[in-house]
Chains A and B, each alone.
Chain A
Amino acid sequence: MTISSKQKDILQQFLISFIAVLLSLIVGAVIILAMGYNPISAYGALIKGSMGSLVSLTMTLKTSVPLILAGLAVAVAFKSSAFNIGVEGQLMFGGLCAGLVGIYVPLPGPLHLAATILAGMLGGALIAFFPAILNSSCNVSVVISTIMLNYVVQFFVQYCVMGPFHGATSAPATDPLLASATLPNILPSPYQLNLGFILMILAVVLIYIYMNKTTKGYEMTAVGLNRTASEFSGINVKKNMFMALLISGAIAGLAGGIEISGSLKRMVNGFSSGYGFSGIPIALMARNNPFAIILTGFFFGMMRSGSFLMQATVGVSSDMVGIIQGLVVVFICLENLIRYYMNRRK
């Protein structure tokens, strides 16, 4: 059987992403070496810390959930050519909304949990709504407005958590969520994996179906690929970008909600630590393919959860993974160069 040109394309894109990761690990190794550490033991610790045991593997999976969802949020908006750089803010606000409903809106049984998660999604969508409406009514650049809104949200969330909703302890956090609003674990202790993981898989599958099997996804993708032709054929470009941003915000909010309701069990100020921003390279590496985002998101999750062991045992600062992630972005952006050399060898 011969492979079709489409499959060949996908294969090549996969290879390019793989080469980019490999190159960034190599350059990262050189930097680690220059700092006077052994890169092999550093990477070894990174892998051992993230996948060395079942406990650490489930820990890594848990860490990957918000990362994968953030990547998915970026990808959905990107598909319709809206660059949502505001996933970080949408995610934080989603977390806040989920937290508040989880604490202050007692509802019976599973309804409370559903309301909590839904509040997270609505919160994220609300924050995405402002740039979306500004874009469709006044043509304001989505990139600019989403970036700037991140700071507004960051300080607003900080005010809420430190001010009116500050908890009984001195920690920068609210009171714990009611037990009925937390996501139950799906694995027995000590393995930490909660229902959020299932929700994440569900979101990925749903988005894949939406983008590939429905007329709405068809329109959004068409708008992203060729705005003018979409307009000429009667597709409402503004409406599609608006919807894509709203969906993107809802996914970001879901990530925040899962993190608060599943992992932290209370709203903590600054809980995100850059999940939303990591979503950009995660989506980039996966070329906006929802299933590939699971892989690339997991890769970023590995770096995060393994970096602690690396710092503890080898002494390489856990910030090193930030450098490697940055290098990944650089090498992904060198896509054309990699492609050039790949095609030359043929």
Chain B
Amino acid sequence: MAEYAIELKGITKRFPGVVANNNITFSVRKGEIHALAGENGAGKSTLMNILFGLLVPDEGQIIINGKEEKFSSPRDSNRAGIGMVHQHFMLIPKLSVMENVIIGQEPGTSLKIDRKKAVEEVQAISDKYELNIDVTKKVGELSVPEQQRVEIIKVLYRQADILIFDEPTAVLPPHLIDEFCDILLSLKEKGKTIIFISHKLAEVMKVSDHVTVIRRGEVIGTRAICDTSIDEITRMMVGHSVDTGRKSRADIKPGKEVLSIKDLHYTNVEGNEKLKGLDLSVHEGEIVGIAGVDGNGQEEMEKCILGLFKPDSGQILFNGEDMIGHTVKERRDMGLGYVAEDRQKESLVLQYSVAYNLILGQHYLPAYSKHGFWLKKDAINENAEKLAKDYDIRLANIQVAAGTLSGGNQQKIVIAREANNDPKLYVAIQPTRGLDIGASDSVQDTLIRLRNENKAVLLISMELDEILAVSDKIAVIFDGKIVAVVDAATADKESLGYLMLGSKKGGNE
């Protein structure tokens, strides 16, 4: 018996203008959990797609259980015992768990599915691996973590011995990540080999036996978890050590008030009052971080500021002028930069080129158009070349569709565009969500830079660490109101946590 479940030797894959994988060589032992860590765009997904048979490498060998294999479709890799749990689930909500699992391999005759047998088999898998799924339920009725477990059952049903998990924890809320780690360990205990792609290093440290780090398409090294540390892996991933504490910043005094929200009320279409007299103030040269548990009015506040929601009452003053009643365009013309939460849905036109995306919402300005009518292609391209360089947006050329870039580079487009129009107020919502350490760092540095340039910055994030690292002042939102404003330099996580949950205790202790 071969010692290794997977051996990759010299895998190289080129795309037009980029080498996604360059001479990748590493091995995964049988029955281990092997983490694959790397920034977004480092080439992890390309490599896994090669292993899964979705892409064919230009060079290199894939050896599975000691035998060289050539995969030209997922069917081939399935046959070799490889299964993949994708980040975006591939499930049909209207069908039951059992039906989702057996698709393509239905038991019974070609005319009739043996449903009884199918339910038994699929339930047996769920029970054996303690996945706790009622397989007769419809997938649409299940929660996200449960749907993920259905994906695992799907792979196990196809008798995979090697399981690839593509960023499995990205979709899970923090308190369920431990549970997921237990599932991985239980799969390992039952003899499965697991490749676990992640850039959340805490989980990598917790469950893996080995970790292989990829940067810019190349293997930087493989380490046994017992011999390494988060610091070392981070350095390997980004190529330099990253300051994870509070960001340093220029010593400037906040200037005049740019944004002033007074007694803002908003009731949504369902009749729920989501903002109950919210007050907020942001000055020049400061970053105000909004800390709070999701759903306490952040979204409503953001959209009232941008102009997509019309508040019931209250004022949103922007340099003294009430923004309410102005259109989104007018507010942006007044100097509002806005990094929306969902970059793919709310910030980018994925089919448009990077150059076109970098002027979205500014396309009518004299810099990019003559008389607001004729597009100035040269100026648009020049702008794109400059921003791509300044913000280190990695791309083959500025004419490629934004949708072809990695998440981190997509976000850099948005960050760059919104900062480019000399904003007076820069609103950033979850700007580093789903980004790796390097990209997060560069996004946060941009926020600090804008602040140092005397802009007013409003940061809304669910990640308290980010709020603490970046903000000057922290405003805690709870139940549609700002319940406390504290100095970020002296704030501590624990008392903020109390405030976010609506307890008055935090202030007194």
Contact = CB atoms under 8 A, between A and B. Distances in A.
Interface of A: 2, 4-6, 213-216, 218-219, 221-222, 225-226, 228-236
Contacts of B329: 234-236
B375 A234 contact: no
B345 A226 contact: yes
Interface string B370-412: 0011110000000000000000000000011000000000000
Nearest to B303: A232
8 contacts: A5-B16, A215-B373, A218-B363, A221-B352, A230-B349, A231-B328, A232-B346, A234-B327
A228 B345 CA distance: 6
Contacts of A2: 16
Interface centre among A221, A222, A233 (most CB of B within 10 A): A233
B275 interface: no
B356 A218 contact: yes
B338 interface: yes
Contacts, number: 72
A232 B375 CA distance: 21
B399 A6 contact: yes
A274 B346 CA distance: 39
Contacts of A213: 374-375
Given A215-B364, A228-B345, A234-B327, 4 more contacts: A5-B400, A215-B368, A226-B349, A229-B340
A136 to B, nearest CB: 14
B374 A226 contact: no
A226 B361 contact: no
Contacts of A221: 352
B374 A229 contact: no
Given A214-B374, A215-B372, A216-B373, A228 B361 contact: no
A229 B327 contact: no
Closest 9 CB pairs of A and B: A233-B361, A234-B329, A234-B328, A226-B349, A232-B346, A234-B332, A233-B360, A225-B349, A215-B369
A240 to B, nearest CB: 12
B348 interface: yes
Contacts of B348: 226, 229
B444 interface: no
B432 interface: no
Contacts of A218: 356, 363, 375
A216 B331 CA distance: 20
A215 B332 contact: no
Contacts of B351: 225
B335 to A, nearest CB: 13
Given A231-B308, A234-B332, A222 B372 contact: no
B347 interface: yes
A307 to B, nearest CB: 38
B350 interface: yes
A216 B371 CA distance: 12
B460 to A, nearest CB: 15
A219 B308 contact: no
Nearest to B396: A5
A235 B333 CA distance: 12
B156 interface: no
A4 B399 contact: yes
